[in-house]
Structure 1
C-alpha cells in the first residue's frame, strides 16, 4: 500500500511539472494538504462510529488530507460536516446504494425507498463526502453495506447515482492521474468504461461491451490505424447504437471520416444519421453544405437543428435555409430557426432584406410556442415593421402580457417601432406587482432610455425590495434592490446625456 501511495504522489508531481489542467484543478492546483495524524482519523471514526475503508484511510495518513483530486478536489474530514446530508450523523447506517441493485430510470429513489420522507438523505446513509463536482453534484465514498469502499457520484436534486467502474478509492484516484498523464479528455471524469487504447481495442476485437468501448475511446488523445480499422469494421453493426458510436469515433480520429460517413446520412435510425452529419460537416463547407441542406428535411427535428447549426457555424447559412423552418412542426425546429434569425438580425440587416425579416418576424408572433414568438419580437427590435396602429397595439399587448419571455423583448421591439410607445410600456412595467419585472424594466430603461424616462425611474428610488422567489428547483434572487437598479439606470442615462 505504501509503495502504491508513493507512486500516486509521484504521478501528482508529474502532473504539476507538465502544467496540466482539468475541470476544477484551479481550486487545488494538484497539491495535497499535509497528511492527517492517526489520532485525528481515529477520533473522526470514533465520533461517527465507523471504520474508514483501508485504502482511503491509508491515503489520508500517508498521502494527503484533502486537496488535489477529481473535480474540485478532495474534502478534509472536517469539511464533510458542511454538507447537508452529513448532518444526519448516520455514517454508520447501512448504505442502500449498490451498483447491481440500484433501480433504473428517474424513479429510482421512490423505487429504492418507497414512501420515505427525506428520501435523498436516507439514500445517502453510510456514505462520506469526498468532494464537490459543482452545483448539486458530489462524490461520495460508501462506508457500509455491500458496496463498502466504492466511490459513487450523486446529485442532491435527485438524479440517479452513478458508480464509476473502480474497485475502490485508490483505483478511482489513480485512474484520474493516469488519464491526465495520458492526455485523455477529462470532462466528466470517472464515467464510462475504464481503459486505454489497448484494452478498448481488445474489447472491440472480442465483441464485448462494444458501445461502452467505443464511447470510452473518444476520451483518448489518438488511436492507431489498427484500432481505427476495428472501429470501421463496426460501422455495419445491426445495433444502431453501435453504428452511432463508431461514427462518432471516426469523426474524432479519421481524416477520411466524411467520405466514410456520408452513406449513413440515409441510415434508418436517427442516431447514426446525426453522428454521420457531424462527420460530414467538417472542413470546407463547399464540400458538405448540400448534404447539410438535405438534412434540413430529416424527419428528426434534432438532426434538422444540427444541420442548421453546421451551416450557421460555417457562416454559410442563408435566409432561404431559415425561413421555411420558422413554421416547422418538428419539435424544437421552429424555435431553433427563430433564435438563429434573431441572431442574424442582431448582426445587421440590409435595407433590401429588411422587409423579409419583418414579415417573417410578424408571422412568428402567431406561433403557439412562446419561444418562437419571443424570437420574432427579438427580430423586430432590429428591423422596421409597417407603421400600423393595430400592429403597435399588438406589441404593447405582448409587453404587458403574462408571458415573462415576451415582456422586455416586446418593449425593445416597441422602442424600435415607436420609441415613445416602447418607453411608455416600460414605464408601466415599473409599476408591475412582481419586483423582478420592475427591476428588469428599470434596467432596460437605463440601457435604452433618455431623460424623458427619469420620472418612472425616480418613482422606484424608494422601492427597497430585493427580488426573491422559490422555484421548483430552488430559489432565485438578485444581489440588488429595485431602488439600486433604478439608481444605476438613472446614472447611465446621465452619463449618456453628458456624452
Structure 2
C-alpha cells in the first residue's frame, strides 16, 4: 500500500496510525493471512475514503478509539488502539467480556508472535481448478477462503470469472458474496455487470461494497448510473447517501486514481 493511501485514510479519519502498523501496510501489504478470518484491510473503501468505521473501546478508565485488524467471528475481534494512553497496543474484544489488553508491545511484535509457531515450508498454493471445485462442495468458511485464494493467482480463466459473478449474485452466504464482489472489483471491468447486480443485495455490506467498485471501475458510464438507481430502490438510506456522496466526489475529481490503493 502506498504512503499516500495511508495518509488519505488518516486525514479523513482524523487520526495518526501507530508507526509499526504503518510500516506493515507500506512494506508488507494491506490485509491477508492472519489469525481468525485473516488480517482486515485498512479500509473497505478503495476509490474514496469515508469517515467513520472505527471501534470504540472501553478499557478500564481509559476509553479509546481502535481499528479492527482481525475478525474472529461474531463480534469477537482484535483491535489496534489508535488513541489513548495505550495507542499502538492491541486488545481482544468479545461478547459479554471486557476488552483485554494483549501483552505484545505493538502490531509487528504481535504478528511475529503469531507467525513463529507456523510451519509454512511445505505449504504450496492451491491451483485454480482445486479452488473452483471447493466453491461447489465446501462449507462457508472454505468457500470464503477459496475465493480469497483465487485472488492471489496471476490470472483466472473466463469460466472462473463468470463463476465469481454467479457467486456474487446468488451464493447463499453473504460472506462468500462479499468476497466474490471484492475479487471482481480487483479484476477490473470484466466483472462490472455482476457488480451492478450485487448493488441490490439484501446484505448491506455486500451492496455498498459492490456500489463502490462500480463507481471506481465504471464511474463515467451508464453502469454507474444504473447502480445508483438500484441503490435508491433498496430502501437503504445510508447506502443512498453514500452513492450520492460518491457521485459528488467523482464529479469533483476527488477520487483516488487507478493504482492509488
Question: Normalised by the size of structure 1, how large is the TM-score?
Answer: 0.28
Q: Which has the higher contact order (CA 8 A, sep 6+)?
A: 2
Specify the structure having the higher radius of gyration (Cα). 1
Q: Which has the higher strand share?
A: 2
Question: Normalised by the size of structure 2, how large is the TM-score?
Answer: 0.49
Q: Which has the higher helix share?
A: 1
